[in-house]
């Protein structure tokens, strides 16, 4: 293949990350609010990578990089911002055909591909060439440079995107998919019960993707069990803070509360009573910090406490809504998502959490309201809830300044 000749224009090309959103664009009257949150989160996510200038363009957000030392790192951070549908490393040129050809030539130079397509879009319709005419002109230019290639509009090996703005044009290949959803901070705060297992971190992340800021509540059984579950909870929150930038983790001592349950509650009913107490404590802690709902990693039928009957009994212990984003997913689906998030390896580290302490061999799977009332009749529920709340210790985490733990 004949090397492409270089023009002075090519040496002055400036990289940028072009971010597209989808669901945010459907918000009509509230769109400016969602876009402000998205831009703020993009700025926060990339704040430690060097100078980045954000601009809102028609249907997209641009991260101008100019002489940035690590453009790919900026793109990769953008791909971890909820609300981003896709992001690509683009080149910014003047909105004229010669300039577009120069950067297209640079993108195909030294690249091997059997088929390609040009996808041109105009953000303003007064540009002298239509999108179809741009596709044809730039496609012909690529065929001159790479005669062995062919145009394939349906299954191209290489797709070159050209987005024409009034004052500038962006040319790029290989856009990568982001998480989509809504920007964190647009949907209020929720309190997530974080066990340290595979499911609850995925549930928390799914609520971040819906725009929620997540407060984490972890129950532990120190001194009855080692503090390993607390270390796992910290590691999981640190990993998830990369998606919401600031997190709080509340560590609640639950061993003494479990001991009270064991002394008064029949073994089959204990698991549901434990869960109802956790929900009450998490709700009280969450309300104090502005949470509007609780979140759990429960999946219907996965364990004894997750039958429809027992889920109903657990719901009855709360006045806030309990959101279960994994309720219809199976373990393989949840595990796959945990692997993609990078939480799976942390979750499978061996530990002993409060769920393993005083757990009956045969827990009840279909408790009725009368069963629950009888099981809790001899417990001082308000006192146990107050005990759990009083013992809660808070830690704060930040990203990208590096996770830090401090008493809050």
Q: Give the model confidence (pLDDT) of 381-394 as tens digits.
A: 999 999 999 999 99
Task: Tell me, yes or no, whether 183 lies in a domain.
Answer: no
| Region 61-77 average pLDDT | 93
- Whole-number Å distance between alpha carbons of 168 and 175: 19
For the chain, give the mean pLDDT: 91
Read off the DSSP letter of residue 98.
H
Which helix (H) or strand (E) segment holds residue 301: the answer is none
Number of domains in the chain: 2
Residues 145 and 286 in one domain: no
Asked if 81 and 122 sit in the same domain, the reply is yes
User: What tokens does 18 get?
Assistant: 């072009």
With a pLDDT cut of 70, the percent of the chain lying above it is 94
pLDDT at 3 > cutoff 90: no
Q: Which of 177, 209, 228 is the last residue of a domain?
A: 177
pLDDT score for 294: 98
pLDDT for 327 = 96
Q: Which of the listed residues 124, 156, 177 is the one where a domain comes to its end?
A: 177
| Residues 47, 336: Cα–Cα separation, whole Å | 30
Q: What is the pTM of this model?
A: 0.90
Per-residue pLDDT, 9:
43
CA distance 388 to 242: 29
Residue with tokens 């809790």: 376
- Domain boundary (152, 177, 202) is at 177
CATH number at residue 252: 3.40.50.620
Q: What's the Rg (C-alpha) of the chain?
A: 27
What pLDDT score does 356 carry? 64
Is there a single domain that holds both residue 250 and residue 318? yes
Integer Cα distance of 391 and 396 in angstroms: 17
> Among 1-10, 231-240, 281-290, where is mean pLDDT lowest?
1-10
Distance CA 25, CA 31 (A): 6
Residues 169, 230 within the same domain: no
Q: CB within 8 A of 204, min separation 6: which ones?
A: 192, 194, 214, 216, 240, 295, 297
* Residue 6 pLDDT greater than 70, yes or no: no
Name the residue range of residue 44's domain. 8-177
Residue 172 sits in the same domain as residue 193:
no
């Amino acid at each position: 293949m004949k090397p492409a000749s270089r023009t002075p224009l090519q040496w002055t090309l400036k990289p940028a990350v072009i971010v597209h959103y989808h669901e945010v664009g459907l918000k009509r009257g509230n769109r400016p609010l969602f876009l402000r949150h998205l831009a703020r989160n993009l700025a926060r996510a990339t704040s430690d990578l060097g100078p980045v200038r954000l601009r809102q363009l028609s249907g997209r957000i641009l991260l101008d990089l100019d002489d940035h030392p690590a453009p790919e790192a900026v793109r990769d951070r953008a791909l971890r911002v909820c609300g981003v549908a896709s992001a690509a490393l683009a080149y910014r040129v003047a909105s004229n055909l010669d300039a577009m050809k120069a950067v297209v030539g640079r993108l195909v130079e030294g690249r091997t591909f059997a088929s390609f397509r040009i996808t041109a879009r105009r953000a303003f319709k007064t540009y002298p060439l239509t999108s179809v005419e741009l596709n044809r002109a730039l496609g012909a230019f690529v065929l001159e440079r790479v005669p062995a290639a062919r145009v394939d509009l349906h299954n191209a090996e290489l797709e070159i995107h050209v987005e024409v703005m009034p004052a500038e044009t962006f040319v790029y290949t290989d856009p990568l998919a982001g998480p989509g959803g809504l920007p964190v901070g647009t949907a209020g705060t929720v309190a997530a019960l974080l066990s340290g297992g595979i499911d609850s971190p995925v549930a928390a992340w799914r609520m971040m993707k819906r725009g929620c800021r997540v407060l984490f509540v972890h129950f532990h059984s120190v001194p009855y069990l080692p503090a390993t579950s607390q270390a796992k909870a910290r590691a999981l929150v640190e990993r998830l803070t990369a998606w919401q930038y600031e997190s709080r983790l509340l560590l609640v001592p639950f061993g003494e509360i479990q001991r009270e349950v064991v002394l008064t509650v029949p073994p089959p009913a204990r698991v549901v009573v434990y869960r109802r107490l956790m929900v009450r404590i998490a709700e009280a802690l969450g309300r104090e910090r502005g949470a509007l709902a609780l979140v759990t990693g429960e999946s219907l039928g996965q364990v004894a406490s997750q039958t429809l009957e027992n889920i109903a009994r657990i719901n009855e212990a709360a006045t806030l809504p309990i959101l279960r984003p994994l309720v219809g997913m199976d373990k393989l689906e949840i595990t796959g998502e945990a692997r993609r998030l990078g939480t799976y390896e942390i979750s499978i580290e061996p530990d002993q959490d409060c769920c393993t302490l005083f757990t009956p061999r045969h827990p009840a799977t279909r408790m009725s309201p009368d069963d629950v009332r009888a099981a809790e009749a001899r417990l001082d529920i308000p006192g146990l809830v107050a005990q759990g709340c009083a013992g809660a210790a808070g830690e704060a985490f930040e990203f990208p300044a590096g996770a830090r733990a401090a008493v809050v």
